Structure 1
Amino acid sequence: MNLSDFKQFHLNIKIRMVVSFVSDIAEMSIFPFMAIYFSSNLGIAWAGAILTLTTVVSIIFGMYGGSFADRFGRKKVMVAGSMIQTISFVIIALANSPWFESVWLTFFMFFLLSITSRFIDPASEALLIDVSSEEEQPLMYRFVYWSSNLAFSIGIILGGLFFQTHKFELFLGFAILSIFTFLLTVGWIQDDYVPKNDKKNGVILGFISDYIKVLKDVRFMVLCVSTLLILSLEFQLYGFIAVRLNEDIHTSIFGLIIDGPKMLSILIVTNTMIVILASGIVGNIAQKINMNTTLFVGLFMYVLGYSFLAWNNVIVLLTVAIAVATVGEILFQPIRSTYVAQLANKDARGSYIAVSGLSMDAGQILGSLGLMVSALLSNAMMTVLFLLIGGLGIMGFLWTVQDYRLKTKKDIA
């Protein structure tokens, strides 16, 4: 995984990675801090209502984005969404300028930014699949995984440094960058996909028809359910595991006091640094190994790492556990994305990608339920529960891979 590998990709892939990199930095510089902004200006109740509404509507728009990408073309959806995002950034900058301030205008623009971001995602992902071969997809998704994590880290740092004190400059900077990404999308993206012609169904009926077909694809749905089970373990880090560390970790190393919050910070920083610094090395090793071997080694490492975090209190071992889980994630995530790409029906890739995206949302919900369940179970029992959930997820991946290989052999025969 190096610059020469990146150069060999189709122009659409390069442009999409650049656009997504800039967009991810912008989102992570702003979105995580909006809860603080709204609660400070409107109160906690209003902030909670605004963020909940935004999340729910964004999910719905993401589903429509997938359907529209299949019916009207990838580029049209991306251009429309990018244009709305550019206008939203300009207005949100003006609404937080030295000359004019409006919390409600900021909310409305934040709302538009959130839903258009989700609306664009299936189209941009389908565009990647359209122009990539099955052989290059694992490498492509390694680049996507690494660049998105790097962008998230940069965004969080920028937001932490400038959101509170330099909101106007931050928003203005991203407004300018958004104009740049809009022009890139309009001028350089090549969309060779021919939208399906469905004159019998309108927008609503067509939308329903698209997703009924996806839901009937058992192999793909098993992959999605398996994904949400696996990803739910990572979300425990910010729920049950965070609370457990706060209750159980009270120690010191070389005179430095380590409590729960500090331990959580160590784990998050370790995770981030490994992803950013080691993805290339791990990816290069993975390229020399069978794709399915890489997938399942990664899944086992991921499940074991997060399960270990559920009960152990030794700082060094906890750090090793998050390192193991992170390397596992680096191994399996690009392969999982590759299988999503290969299982998605060619004429409905946008819809398939939108459903796949729900795995993250469902995994987050399942992860948050872990905190509720932990009130009834001991740490040891939570560890067993993590292993069971992870085991079910791995079994689902195993069935999907085997079934796909059988289908591929039949198609060749």
Structure 2
Amino acid sequence: MRFRDFHKNIKIRLIENFISRFIGSMIFPFMSIYLAVHFGAKIAGLLLLVNVFIGIGINFLGGYFADQFGRKKVMLFAETLRFLAFLTMMICNSPWFESAAITFAMMTVNSICWGLAGPANQAMLIDVSTPPQRKLMYSISYWANNLSIAVGGILGAFLFKDYLFELFLSLSFAAAVTAFLVAFFIDESHRPVVEELKPAQHVMQLLSTYKRVFQDRLFVLFTIAGVLILSMEFQLTNYIGIRLSDEMPTQQFLLWEFDGVQTMGFLRSENTIMVVILMLFVTRIPHSLKDKSVLVWSCFFFTSGYGVLAYSNSLTLLFLMMAVLTIGEVFRVPVEQSYMAAIPPDDARSSYMAFGGLKFNLSMLVASVTVSLGAVFSSMLMAIVITSIGLIGTLIFFIISPELDARKEQAQLRQAG
């Protein structure tokens, strides 16, 4: 299986997502600083929180609309609106005019666009891929995301302050290209029978659609397990980062000295670099393990690594366990996402993807709760709590793995038929 064997929709989206995320990573991670400068730290925090909740709400609408009216229509509307939002942000941060209020409003519009297009984009990738292609597809996507975020974040640290107008100009151009590609090169992958419904009927149908999703026990358990496992990843910049900053003494490692904050930065860099390198080879590594075994064991090593990071102050052990958990991560992500792609029925893929998209926000919530607990509990007890969270997610995956395989086989049969 090779990149050139993919459907053209997949090729276009993978390349476009890399470019958009690369440029976006130079800007959006630093927008909290921008808002804090213009509105103050407290107001900035509230504004970012509002942005998150608006995105979550729109995510459900995006999933419903993509199932009801087709993926391409929703994506084209969202990408066109995103281009206009970025163009406005560029104008509002130009040498001739500046408005932080309008810039934040356009950030909110961008969150709305992500919520609308995200489920449609994910569902389209599933529509036009076969089960054997998906692990490679998701591996490439994960590799590209990590590379774009890593390189874009580094460049953004140098360019954001003095070249914000130029960055928004680049982002606007990328958004225009994306909208053009969606309009003229992306094929529609889902053509539902459009019903003429009144607004109230749409509301009832939306509620009925998500009731169906919530009643899918396997998908709900799969999402819960995914939230618990993903929350491990956010511990590094939340509880673990705070603990290292407070507890870890400055230590010598090879030719350098590291304090807690520097150690956290180095661990993040180690993780990103290893993901980018290992993802180039992970799909080519031959092994006899079944997908369910890979999923469970990778989650176990991922959890064990973060459990050690939550307690140890030994630089050598921290760097070693980061390597261990990163290996678990690169094996877990493609398998987990290929299972996710096999669970939804064909007529409700976007709605399922919208619900599954909550994993990020809920994982951040779990990580935030551990920060509060860390102010009360000892490091040892917190390490036990964090490890237990990951092990519960691993156990859920282990319990539902036979059902996941059965659902995957059903999806393959449907596609073959």
Q: TM-score, normalised by structure 1?
A: 0.94
Partner of 1:261: helix, strand, or coil?
Answer: helix
Match of 2:248 in 1: 249
Contact 2:67–2:348 (CA<8 Å) still a contact in 1?
A: yes
**Aligned partners of 2:339 and 2:404 also within 8 Å:** no
1:220 alignment counterpart: 219
1:74 aligns with 2:74: no
Structure 1 window deviating more from structure 2 (108-117 vs 380-389): it is: 380-389
Aligned 8 A contact 2:224 2:393 in 1: yes
Measure how far apart 1:275 and its partner are.
0.8
* 1:188 partnered with 2:185: yes
Instruction: Decide whether the 8 Å contact of 1:94 with 1:101 is kept in 2.
Output: yes
Which residue identity is paired with 1:137? Answer: R
Q: Which position in structure 1 is the counterpart of 2:285? A: 285
Aligned counterpart, 1:334: 334
Secondary structure of 2:285's counterpart equals: helix
CA displacement 1:376-402 (0-9 Å, x = unmatched): 322222222222211211111122221
Paired residue for 2:87? 90
AA at the equivalent of 1:63: F
Q: Aligned to 1:171, which of 168, 171, 180?
A: 168
Q: 1:169 to 1:288 in 2, by over 3 A?
A: farther
1:309 is displaced (CA, Å) by 0.4
| Residues 312-321 or 214-223, more deviating | 312-321
Corresponding residue for residue 365 of structure 2: 365
Give % identity: 33
Structure 1 equivalent of residue 266 of structure 2? 266
The answer to which of 174-183 and 286-295 deviates more is: 286-295
Deviation at 1:288, TM superposition (A): 6.2
Q: Does 1:236 align with 2:235?
A: yes
Distance 1:149 1:157, change over 3 A: same
Aligned to 1:14: 11
Specify the alignment match of 1:348 in structure 2.
348
AA matched with 2:216: D
Q: 1:254: Cα distance to partner? A: 5.0
* Structure 2 CA distance for partners of 1:407 and 1:271, relative to 1, 3 Å: closer
CA contact (8 A) 1:25 1:151 kept: yes
Find the partner of 1:25 among 4, 22, 44.
Answer: 22
Partner AA of 2:305 in structure 1: G
Tell me how far 1:20 sits from its aligned partner.
1.5
- Checking the alignment, whether the CA contact within 8 Å between 2:90 and 2:169 is kept in structure 1 is yes
RMSD: 1.9
Conserved? CA contact 1:38–1:44, under 8 Å = yes
1:284-324 CA-partner distances (Å, limit 9, x unpaired): 21676432232222111101110110111110110111111
Partner Cα separation in structure 2 for residue 408 and residue 254 of structure 1: 48
Contact 2:32 2:48 in 1 (8 A): yes
Q: 2 CA distance for matches of 1:296 and 1:24?
A: 30
Aligned match of 2:131 in 134, 146, 152? 134
* Residues 343-397 of structure 1: per-residue CA shift (max 9 Å, x gap): 0111000010011111111111001111111233222222222222112111111
Letter in 1 for 2:203: I
Question: Per the alignment, in what secondary structure is the counterpart of residue 136 of structure 1?
Answer: helix
Q: Summarize the Cα distance change of 1:391–1:103 in structure 2 as closer, same or farther, 3 Å threshold.
A: same
Q: Deviations over 1:75-104 (max 9, x none)?
A: 001100000111111111111111111111
In the aligned structure 1, how far is the partner of 2:364 from the partner of 2:168? 28
What stretches of structure 2 of length at least 5 have no aligned partner? none
User: Is the Cα–Cα contact under 8 Å of residues 129 and 341 in structure 1 kept in the other structure?
Assistant: yes
Which amino acid in the other structure matches residue 215 of structure 2? K
Q: Alignment partner of 1:22: what SS?
A: helix
Work out the number of aligned pairs and report it: 409
Distance 1:344 1:70 in 2: 12
- In the alignment, the residues of structure 1 paired with residue 339 and residue 261 of structure 2 have an alpha-carbon distance, to the nearest angstrom, of 37
SS in 2 for 1:119: helix
Q: Relative to structure 1, is the Cα distance of residues 289 and 403 closer, same or farther in structure 2, using a 3 angstrom cutoff?
A: closer
8 Å contact from structure 1 (residues 249, 258) kept in 2: no
Deviations 1:30-55 (A, max 9, x none): 22111111111122232122111111
Seen in structure 2, the aligned counterparts of structure 1 residues 192 and 242 have a Cα distance that, compared at 3 Å, is closer
| Paired amino acid for 2:396 | G
When residues 407 and 9 of structure 1 are mapped into structure 2, their CA distance, relative to the original with a 3 A threshold, is closer
Contact 1:245 / 1:264 at 8 angstroms: preserved in 2? yes
Give the drift of 1:161: 1.6
Instruction: Report the equivalent of 1:300.
Output: 300
Residue aligned with 2:252, SS: strand
User: Which whole-Å CA distance do the structure 1 matches of 2:68 and 2:20 have between them?
Assistant: 25
Contact 2:342 2:408 in 1 (8 A): no
Question: What CA distance in whole angstroms lies between the structure 1 residues aligned with 2:214 and 2:384?
Answer: 31
Contact conserved, 2:119 with 2:351, CA < 8 A, in 1? yes
For residue 106 of structure 1, report the CA deviation from its aligned partner: 1.1
Amino acid at match of 2:82: Q
Residue in structure 2 matched with residue 122 of structure 1 by the alignment: 119
Q: Deviations over 1:124-154 (max 9, x none)?
A: 0000000111111111111111111112112
Which stretch has the larger CA shift, 312-321 or 191-200? Answer: 191-200
CA contact (8 A) 2:71 2:189 kept: no
- Amino acid in the other structure paired with 2:345: N
Inter-partner Cα distance in structure 2 for 1:287 and 1:112: 45
User: Residue 29 of structure 1 aligns to a residue in which SS?
Assistant: coil
Task: With the length of structure 2 as denominator, give the TM-score of the two structures.
Answer: 0.94
Structure 1 residues 116 and 287, CA gap change in structure 2 (3 angstroms): farther
- Contact 1:70–1:349 (Cα < 8 Å) also in 2: yes
Counterpart CA distance in 1 for 2:208 and 2:405 is 28
